[in-house]
Amino acid sequence: MQTEGKVILITGASEGIGAACARLFRARGARICLTARSEDKLRTLAGPRDLVIPANLTEPGAPARIVETALSHFGTIDVLINNAGAGLYTPAHSGTDADARRLFDLNVFAPLDLIRNVAPHMKRRGSGSVVNISSIAGMVALPWFTMYSATKAAMISMTNGLRIELRNSGIHCMTVCPGYVRTNFQHNLLAGTVPPALGPMKQRWSISADQCAVAVLRGIDRQARTVVTPASGWLLVAAASMFPRLVDRQLESIWLRESRQSEESQP
């Protein structure tokens, strides 16, 4: 898919992966629609021809308003990139119902609402792309990130089903599963703290937001089904599939080490 002249709607566009995608697609000649909660950050990032729509995706009616505003301004939406999301570093067995619901509202139901609003337009045109930013954690559940993993697994399943639902309408659906991306994501959590024991893992598997954006662009260009970035993340996915008990034990050892460190740090 050639992106020059195409209209790209990006959620969570004020920083991180969303901002990197905006810069990259703009450089490729695309027309950009940016949405996030912070209007100031969006204005700082936006180019002179970009459309800025400040919005909280979890507010009733917000996804419909965003799509309607973008269509009114540009006349079309060629690519929807569902990137907005949040993390939750509390155990599933002891976390709060309110935090879990907030997480699913933002990470799953808001993207679904946007898709439901943009799909009729794309179906009428007979073309379009839906890109859902998931995570390697959605392919291999991480015990320090259980509820987040659940939301990202839901995104993968939803995208796989949508791909079949919409293929005959000319709409391509793609999942992007990054590993650890060096952004401010870890500072914008709904609850919990980042486990110190993950430090070495983050260094080994991390990529920049710009690298992730390149992977998104390449995936759209070749109409990929699933993009894992870095590509070495496929090794973890394959290991979890072929040797699930071994991977479980490795993840458990990290989880137990983190639990001990947390207990020792408490007064």
Q: Is residue 85 helix, strand or coil?
A: coil
> Which token pair is 155?
């995104």
> Of 89, 148, 180, 185, which residue is the catalytic one?
148
51-54 and 31-36: which strand pairing?
A: parallel
DSSP run (H or E) holding 36: strand 31-36
Helix axes 146-166, 110-125, angle to 10 degrees: 10
What is the sign, positive or negative, of the torsion defined by CA atoms of 225, 227, 231, 236? negative
CB 51 within 8 A of CB 69: yes
CB 140 within 8 A of CB 147: no
The DSSP string of 54-67 is E--TTSTTHHHHHH
Q: Does 89 qualify as catalytic in the annotation?
A: no
Residues whose CB is less than 8 angstroms from the CB of residue 246 and which lie 6 or more positions away in sequence, other chains included: 239
CB neighbourhood size of 31 (10 A): 23
* Residues designated as active site: 148
